Structure formats: C-alpha cells, structure tokens
Amino acid sequence: MSPETTRLRAPWSLRELAAELRQGTSSPAETLRRSRERIAATDSAVHAWVELDARPDPVASGPLGGVPLGVKDIIDVAGLPTRCGSGLREAAAPAPSDASIVTAWREAGAIPVGKTVTTEFAFFSPGPTGNPSAPGHTPGGSSSGSAAAVASGQVPLALGSQTAGSVIRPASYCGVAGMVMSHGRFPVDGVTGLSPSLDSHGLYAAGVTDLALAFSALTGEPDAAAAPARPARLLLWSATPLGVVEPAMRAALDAVLGRLVAAGAVVDEFPDERLIADVAVAHPVVMAYEAARERAVERDQADRLSAALANLLRTGASTPESAYQRARRSVGAAAETVSGLMRSYDAILGPAAPGPAPLGLASTGDPVLSRPWQALGVPQLSVPALSTADGLPLGVQLIGRDREETALLATGCWVERALAN
C-alpha cells in the first residue's frame, strides 16, 4: 500500500463509534468535531464534499445517537442546496425541508454533516472525487463522494442511491461495504431521481456488520450481525455471458468461493445466466425511457448537459413505448423466475464490478454487473473481499430476496466473517 493510500484510507467503524456514544465515552459534539477535522485534513486530496453544514450541532437521539452522516447531493437536506452535480443547479436555493429518507436517518440518531459529490444528475459524468483506497483511480459513480467519504474515514456512514450501479460499484472500487435497498423500501420524495422504476436508496459503511447496525437503527428490525451464524446457501452467478469480468476479479471470485466453501457454505451454480444477461439488456431501455420523462426540463437544456447525459435523454425520448413495455415485461418474467430460485437460497453471489477501479477520473467504470439486479428491484450488498497485487480493492456482490434486507445482511455478515478468518 502506497504512503498516500495509507494516509487517505482509514474507514471509521460505525459499530465501534455507536458503542462509544452509547457508553458515554464519546459525545455527538466530539464525533462531529472528529469528522470535521478528518474532512479538513484529507478532503483537499479526496474531494468528497460539495457542501458542509456549519450550523450549530443539533441534539441527537435515537439508536445511533450522534453518528455523522454524509448525504449524496441529489437528496434534500433542509437548509442546504441540492445541486445534483450539474451547472444547471449552481444557483439552487437551500432545500426547505429534508427528504423523507433524511428525516428517517435523523430519527435514528444520525447527523448530516454535508452533501457529498454526485455525478451529473446521478448519471455518468464524474465530479472531482478521487479514490482514497486507490489514489489516481476512479471511486466509481454516481455515489462517488459518499463512498470516498466513508473509505477515507471522514464519516462512518453515508447515503447513496442506485439506478444502475451507483452504490455497489463504488463500494467495490473503494474497498468499503455498500447496500442497495429494495426498490420502494423507503419513499423517494425529496430525491432528484432519474428513473422511477429503478431508483433505490443506498448506504455505505466500513463493513457489513456496520451496515447491519445502521439498517437496524433505521428500520427497528433486529441487528443482522447478532443473528445466529450459519453457513450460507448461495447461488453462484459468474456473469460470464456479459463478457466484462476481468481476470483479477475472476480470480478473486474463485478465491472467495473457495474460502466460503471451506467455511461450510453450500454453493450451486446459477442455472440460467442468459436470463440475467437479457435483463441487463432490458435495463438501459427502461432507464433511458424513464429518464427522458423524469428529466424533461433538463432535456430541453441539452446544450448545458454532458454529452453522455444529453445522449441518454435523446435516446429515451426517441424510444417507442412498445420497446419500453417489452423491456418491462422481460424484467417482470425474470423476476418471477429469480424469486422462485431464491426460495432455496440465502443469496446470489457474484462479482461486484468488472475489476478494480480503472485508472483516472474521466470515467466511473462499467455498471453492467448491477444493472440486472437493479432492474429486478431486489436488495444488493457489496462485501469488501480481496485486492489485486497492487493493492486495489475488489468486492463481491450478494443479491437477496425482495424486501428481505435484514436476511441479506445476516448472510453478508457471515460471508464477511468467513473471509476474515
């Protein structure tokens, strides 16, 4: 690991911090000061933030009791502008109220410390954020600032969103844990979306057990990390028909599989990978069609958008409704098949990204390995796994049953522990 990586990569354990807050060995004021000091020390290199909240510290209650929270800058935080990574929003007024998801996190005890960098309207055009775990490489997107803020230890918890691969891929690239909730699990009012049938909430933390604690605090469901441990039953999804998995990721997935089997996991091969490849093809049709209508105001100002976003909106505007409905039917048929398969398994295991984070900041990488699962609307989890010989992180992906995030997190905790042994 390079000296720069050692300086920048320092994930902050949410579970340890929550225990300190609960025991009174730390306070909300102290943790906010620690967060702000870390941001001041590292963000000139990381560039994870677009707006910090300098208002007086609120009194925190709830199970998280004062945990600092990063919020992706497509999600409204009362009193802060929501600029969506776009020049069209440079003069945006402060949001009058929190998005529902922010209200829910405040009630759980989290304190928003600011807005994190997003790609332009949560699509492909990147912002300035770098990868703390791989300096000079992309952190992924579109939730780039949130992933980097957690990887660098600026906050122990950060919010993202996913429409294609905007949470899972950055988590893999940055070497942290990321979770995408089932579609519709929480309301999306106060969120500047891209595709209503695809947009989902997500979050980042240092590890899966931290995500389990956070999700329990948010929902009141049991802490998945405390569930009785048992070897997982998994379906292995190689993603071979998509033709994008690089040798380093293939080797990492094989190594992870070997360690999980040695720990007692039962693993069967996914029976029809072409089915998932077909959903991966349907996803961008749905996304473009809906984005062209969801972002119609911006479509009329295409000359002020990136070429990538302008092209997406043009493509979606010219997509016939028949093609859109055909893609939706394809997704619906696959959802029934996958739901049936999952009755006998805890999760589907596969690569979280094609490979390690690409060099440079001009691209955020390929989201194709998340597209099919996002189209199906099921919860997804990126588990930090191994790294390349050069120290670049590689994550694996777990896909669960619809609305069963806690069960997926329990499986993820078992996988994380098995990989640590």
Distance CA 408, CA 345 (A): 11
User: CB burial class (10 A; 0-12, 13-18, 19+) of residue 101?
Assistant: buried
Element (H, E) at 269: strand 266-269
Residue 201 has what DSSP assignment?
A: E
So what's the pLDDT on residue 1?
Answer: 67
Distance CA 34, CA 408 (A): 32
For 360-419, where are the E strands, in sequence order? 380-387, 393-399
Domain ranges (residues) in the chain: 3-235+344-420
**Integer CA distances (angstroms), 107 to 102, 212, 217, 350, 377, in order:** 9, 17, 9, 34, 26
**Integer CA distances (angstroms), 415 to 61, 181, 259, 418, in order:** 32, 19, 9, 5
Q: Which residue has the tokens 């057990």?
A: 209
Output the tens digit of pLDDT for each of the chain's 421 residues.
Answer: 677 877 899 999 999 999 999 999 999 999 999 999 999 999 999 999 999 999 877 778 899 999 999 999 999 999 999 999 999 999 999 999 999 999 999 999 999 999 999 999 999 999 999 999 999 999 999 999 999 999 999 999 999 999 999 999 999 999 999 999 999 999 999 999 999 999 999 999 999 999 999 999 999 999 999 988 899 999 999 999 999 999 999 999 999 999 999 999 999 999 999 999 999 999 999 999 999 999 999 999 999 999 999 999 999 999 999 999 999 999 999 999 999 999 999 999 999 999 999 999 999 999 999 999 999 999 999 999 999 999 999 999 999 999 999 999 999 999 999 999 8
Q: How far is CA 281 from the centre of its chain?
A: 21
C-alpha triplet 58, 62, 64: angle, nearest 5° = 85
So what's the pLDDT on residue 6?
Answer: 72
Nearest alpha-carbon partner for 42 in 69, 14, 6: 6
Q: Is residue 291 within 8 Å of 142, Cβ to Cβ?
A: no
Would you state the CATH architecture of domain 3-235+344-420?
Alpha-Beta Complex (3.90)
**Contacts of 396 by beta carbon, 8 Å cutoff, 6+ apart:** 252, 253, 256, 349, 350, 351, 352, 382, 383, 385, 415
Catalytic residues: 72, 142, 166
Q: Is residue 373 within 8 Å of 380, Cβ to Cβ?
A: yes
Beta-strand pair 347-351/233-236? parallel
So what's the pLDDT on residue 5?
Answer: 79
Query: Could you write out the DSSP letters of every residue in 63-90?
Result: TT-SEEEEEETTB--BTSB--TT-GGGT
CB atoms within 10 A of CB 296: 12
Distance CA 82, CA 76 (A): 6
Residue 348 has what DSSP assignment?
A: E
Q: Which amino acid makes up residue 126?
A: P
